[in-house]
């Protein structure tokens, strides 16, 4: 280990010469990055093996977190932090003439996820390892991550994210651990020894090859594994060559279809994507992941009846739901289990997290597609459904309605959420409000049938990446003030409460925020050539672009502020900088049009001399984990303004809170819990409550056009979307936005909440003017953010759902 700077420098220089044949003065930043990564891999290699060995010999229960997405971001800085090598390496590199932050920029940002769901999985990996749990990730090694976003003439343009182009220093290909996955074919049924047996024949084989990424825990060298699967051809080219030209073409077609399985991440944030390829990806993950889990389990030499005591399989949303019928298939067809005992084992092994209430995001697959691609798995799904519906009718003979509401197969569709609930022992929502809505609204009949399965696990974020790594100065100030216990026990941040009204502490908090704002301002200057006022309020909304997240309300409000300034150019105002970052799904035209609108407004506002620095608007392209780490520590105001009842939890809200930004938000997702802790003094709430939204949906009573006609400010900004003026327009550019509000009656209540939002924004400005009181609120936010550390979340999953305890200390085993 390099806890000594000189040792590190010596080892580093040796590596540079022996691996690259270069001296320090010939090396490029990319070389430095690569050597650093390789060094760390070597340092942790032994501990990685020892962690695995300890798990094996101790026979600890293992958790496998199955997720189609892991939005990891960069690893270098976080790995150094968790290894306790950050300072040594930073100082050592500085002696050698390099800046660690610049070297970190060399690393591609691993974008194997769309947004919150994938980032949650990544935070969970960090917490599992840091707390010493035997918990691993299981995902897909997409060749292309989430698209890279460029803004060209104000429009989003998508470019492929070729993140593996220069190799990946963290991964380890394990060809010897490859797994066969089967698609298509047909099922032959026969009798063997008085037992019905099922054989799938004429199937297509694909190799799943694992690439393992070490997940390094904080402090005591606990190294878990994130296993990412890549699809490879299982056809023998030599054999094909002998079979002549026609089969050669088949060979090429087959290869192309295999490669496409792990080629790219679907860029849909929440909508249902009805593609065969997506179903293939899901089964590929489930089958490869599960077979590999069982292979490890078999080394324990136990009966499969013991599986639930040794293995927990958790599914992150419904995307990996096929683990349920796949486990049934393996137990019945390969291990000789009867149906009931297989069902018993399966439903005591699998647990499920629900991530959304949006009906368009509840996954459904066409029956013929599932039946053809996965014939045996489909038979099992059908049988689960048949037995489930039979049970319902037996228990509730008069309730045919229940059967049609709860069946897994309805009409021509397989409903994955129903399968996930029926086939698992735990169903959790991701924030209190979300879980209540699940139980009492969206999944109500399931809650009534299985009340004991439903539970809440409010999301969290790792404070190591989002505070210690992203905001080292704040982290240092906290440690200087309350000691370092908070790092292992983040709820200890509460001790900062006693510094809330300490003027010198307030001054230091403000100083750190100022420094972070200056850094972001320099980044903006360098990227866009726009000077922003570091004394202005940095008001930030960064997240995926979606109707329910209401970036539209934010930008309409900015247009309104612009109008006010134009009406009274000499009036005194609190200078404000509005910062946006958001990717839109490539096929989501309304969202793309909102991106264009933000950019048009930015262009107008930033170049109007009459605005004179009172207002600036920025759209920062390619929002990603590494960009989030630059933006969030610099925010004064966090925009969490979704339509109440729509955002399951949010995790961006927590990152801002932890970095001392004040939230303007609705009572939605985890904002509700933030508000419970912070009270009205430390948070700016506005807007409809979720029951009010529900009532409007159920009973009507909202007319966007009435609001438009009644509020002159609203009418003015809406009209500015479609009539000649500062923001308009080339050929009805924003007509779609206008229509979505006025012709389709504003599905997300943008106009309904506008007045309250505008009023609350005035209160934000007034509060900002009193910088001491603002600092005190900011400290209160940081102090309460420990509750949202994913360490706390993971401890709750471990105790309530997985029934596991930390494996520690490893080295005594
Ligand atoms: C945290 C995070 C998200 C989720 O943000 P929300 O505001 O909760 O939607 C999305 N993308 C990235 C890159 C993140 O870091």
690 CA to centre of ligand 1 in angstroms:
22
544 CA to centre of ligand 1 in angstroms:
7
Distance CA 762, CA 742 (A): 26
541 CA to centre of ligand 1 in angstroms:
10
User: What is the number of alpha carbons within 13 Å of residue 376 lying toward its C-beta?
Assistant: 27
Spatial neighbors of 164 by CB under 8 A, at least 6 apart, are 108, 143
Find the domain containing 127 and state its range. Answer: 5-145+159-353+419-437
Same domain, 561 and 642: yes
What SS3 string covers 149-198?
A: EEEECCEEEEEEECCCCCCCCCCEECHHHCEEEEECCEEEEEEECCEEEE
> By alpha-carbon position, which residue is closest to atom 8 of ligand 1?
650
**Domains of the chain: total:** 2
Same domain, 428 and 306: yes
Same domain, 429 and 519: no
Three-state DSSP state, 634 = helix
Compute the 3-state secondary structure of the chain and give helix, strand, coil in percent, each to the nearest 5: 55, 15, 30
Same domain, 646 and 588: yes
Same domain, 428 and 533: no
Question: Does residue 513 have an active-site annotation?
Answer: no
pLDDT of res. 812 = 45
Question: Does residue 543 have an active-site annotation?
Answer: yes
Same domain, 426 and 514: no
Which residues are near ligand 1 (CB < 6 Å)? Answer: 115-116, 119, 543-544, 623-625, 628, 650-652, 655
CATH, residue 235: 3.40.50.2000
In a domain, 412, yes or no: no
Same domain, 575 and 625: yes
What SS3 string covers 235-301?
A: CCHHHHHHCCHHHHHHHHHHHHHHHHHCCECCCCCCCCCCCHHHHHHHHHHHHHHHHHHHHHHHCCC
Three-state DSSP state, 136 = strand
pLDDT of res. 808 = 64
> By alpha-carbon position, which residue is closest to atom 15 of ligand 1?
625
458 CA to centre of ligand 1 in angstroms:
15
Query: What secondary structure letter does DSSP report for 648?
Result: S
Which listed residue (418, 453, 464, 543) is catalytic? 543
Which listed residue (61, 178, 329, 355) is catalytic? 355
Which listed residue (61, 560, 592, 655) is catalytic? 655
Query: What secondary structure letter does DSSP report for 275?
Result: -
pLDDT averaged per 10 residues, the chain (length 813): 85 90 90 94 92 88 98 98 95 96 97 98 98 97 98 98 97 98 97 93 96 95 95 79 67 90 90 86 98 96 98 98 98 97 98 92 94 98 98 95 95 96 98 97 96 98 98 98 98 98 98 98 98 98 98 98 97 97 96 98 97 96 98 98 98 98 98 98 98 97 98 98 90 92 98 98 98 98 98 98 83 43
pLDDT of res. 645 = 97
Same domain, 431 and 494: no
Query: What secondary structure letter does DSSP report for 408?
Result: S
Question: Does residue 651 have an active-site annotation?
Answer: yes
In a domain, 380, yes or no: no
Q: 637-640 and 426-429: which strand pairing? A: unpaired
In a domain, 697, yes or no: no
Same domain, 549 and 680: yes
Same domain, 28 and 164: yes
Same domain, 61 and 96: yes
The burial class, CB within 10 Å (0-12 / 13-18 / 19+), for 680 is exposed
Q: Ligand 1 pocket test: pick from 70, 111, 119 the residue with the most ligand atoms within 8 Å of its Cβ.
A: 119
Of 276, 158, 162, 68, nearest in space to 587 by CA: 158
In a domain, 247, yes or no: yes
In a domain, 393, yes or no: no
Distance CA 460, CA 431 (A): 10
pLDDT of res. 357 = 87
127 CA to centre of ligand 1 in angstroms:
18
Question: Does residue 355 have an active-site annotation?
Answer: yes
Q: Ligand 1 pocket test: pick from 116, 540, 657 the residue with the most ligand atoms within 8 Å of its Cβ.
A: 116
Of all atoms in ligand 1, which is nearest to the CA of residue 624? 13
């Amino acid at each position: 280990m390099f806890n000594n700077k000189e040792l590190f420098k010596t080892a580093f220089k040796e590596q540079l010469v022996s691996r690259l044949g270069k001296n320090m003065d010939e090396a490029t930043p990319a070389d430095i990055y690569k050597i650093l990564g390789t060094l760390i891999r070597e340092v942790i290699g032994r501990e990685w093996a020892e962690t695995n060995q300890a798990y094996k010999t101790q026979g600890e229960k293992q958790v496998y977190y199955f997720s189609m997405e892991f939005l990891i971001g960069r690893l270098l800085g976080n790995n150094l932090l968790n290894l306790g090598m950050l300072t040594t390496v930073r100082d050592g590199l500085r002696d050698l003439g390099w800046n660690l932050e610049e070297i970190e920029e060399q690393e591609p940002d691993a974008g194997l996820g769309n947004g919150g769901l994938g980032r949650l999985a990544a935070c969970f990996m960090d917490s599992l390892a840091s707390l010493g749990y035997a918990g691993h990730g299981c995902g897909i090694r997409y060749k292309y991550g989430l698209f890279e976003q460029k803004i060209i003439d104000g429009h989003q343009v998508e470019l492929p994210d070729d993140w593996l182009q220069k190799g990946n220093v963290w991964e380890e290909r394990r060809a010897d651990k490859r797994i066969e996955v089967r698609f298509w074919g047909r099922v032959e049924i026969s009798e063997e020894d008085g037992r019905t047996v099922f054989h799938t024949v004429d199937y297509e084989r694909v190799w799943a090859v694992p690439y393992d990424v070490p997940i390094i825990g904080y402090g005591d060298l606990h190294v878990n594994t994130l296993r990412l699967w890549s699809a490879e051809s299982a056809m023998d080219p030599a054999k094909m060559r002998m079979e002549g030209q026609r089969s050669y073409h088949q060979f090429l077609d087959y290869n192309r279809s295999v490669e496409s399985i792990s080629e790219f991440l679907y860029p849909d944030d929440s909508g249902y994507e009805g593609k065969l390829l997506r179903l293939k990806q899901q089964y590929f993950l489930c089958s490869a992941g599960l077979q590999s889990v069982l292979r490890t389990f078999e080394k324990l030499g136990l009966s499969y009846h013991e599986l639930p005591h040794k293995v927990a399989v958790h599914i992150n949303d419904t995307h990996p739901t096929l683990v349920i019928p796949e486990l049934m298939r393996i137990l019945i067809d390969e291990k000789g289990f009867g149906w009931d005992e297989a069902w018993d084992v399966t439903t005591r092994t699998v647990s499920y997290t629900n991530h959304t209430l949006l009906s368009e995001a509840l996954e459904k697959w066409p029956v013929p597609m599932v039946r053809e691609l996965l014939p045996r798995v489909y038979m099992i799904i059908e049988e689960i459904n048949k037995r489930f519906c039979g049970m319902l009718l037996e228990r509730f003979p008069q309730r045919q309605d229940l059967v049609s509401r709860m069946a897994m197969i309805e009409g021509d569709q397989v409903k994955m959420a129903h399968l996930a609930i029926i086939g698992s022992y735990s169903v959790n929502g991701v924030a209190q409000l979300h879980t209540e809505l699940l139980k009492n609204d969206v999944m109500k009949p399931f809650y009534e049938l299985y009340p004991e399965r439903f539970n809440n696990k409010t999301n969290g974020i790792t404070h190591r990446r989002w505070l210690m790594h992203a905001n080292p100065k704040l982290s240092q100030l906290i440690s200087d003030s309350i000691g370092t216990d908070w790092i292992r026990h983040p709820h200890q941040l509460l001790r900062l409460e006693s510094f809330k009204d300490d003027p010198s502490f307030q001054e230091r908090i403000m100083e750190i925020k100022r420094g972070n704002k200056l850094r972001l301002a320099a980044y903006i200057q360098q990227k866009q050539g726009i000077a922003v006022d570091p004394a202005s309020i940095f008001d930030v909304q960064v997240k995926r672009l979606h109707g329910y997240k209401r970036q539209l309300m934010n930008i309409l409000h900015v247009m309104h502020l612009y109008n006010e300034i134009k009406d009274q150019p000499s009036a005194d105002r609190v200078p404000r900088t509005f910062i946006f970052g958001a990717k839109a799904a490539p096929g989501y035209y309304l969202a793309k049009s909102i991106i264009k609108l933000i950019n048009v407004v930015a262009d107008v506002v930033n170049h109007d001399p009459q605005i004179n620095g009172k207002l600036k608007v920025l759209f920062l392209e390619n929002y990603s984990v590494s960009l989030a780490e630059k933006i969030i520590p610099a925010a004064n105001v966090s925009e969490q303004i979704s339509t109440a009842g729509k955002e399951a939890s949010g995790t961006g809200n927590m990152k801002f809170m932890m970095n001392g930004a004040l939230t303007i938000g609705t009572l939605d997702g985890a904002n509700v819990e933030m508000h419970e802790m912070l009270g009205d003094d430390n948070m700016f709430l506005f807007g409809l409550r979720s029951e009010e939204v529900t009532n409007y949906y159920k009973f009507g009573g909202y007319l966007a056009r009435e609001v438009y006609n009644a509020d002159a400010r609203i009418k003015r900004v809406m009209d500015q979307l479609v009539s000649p003026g500062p923001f308009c327009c080339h050929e009805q550019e924003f007509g779609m936005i206008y229509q979505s509000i006025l012709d389709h009656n504003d599905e997300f209540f943008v106009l309904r909440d506008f007045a309250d939002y505008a009023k609350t924004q005035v209160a934000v400005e007034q509060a900002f003017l009193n910088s001491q009181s603002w600092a005190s609120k900011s400290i209160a936010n940081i102090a309460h953010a420990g509750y949202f550390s994913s360490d706390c979340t993971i401890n709750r999953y471990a105790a309530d759902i997985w029934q596991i305890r930390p494996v520690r200390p490893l080295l005594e085993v």
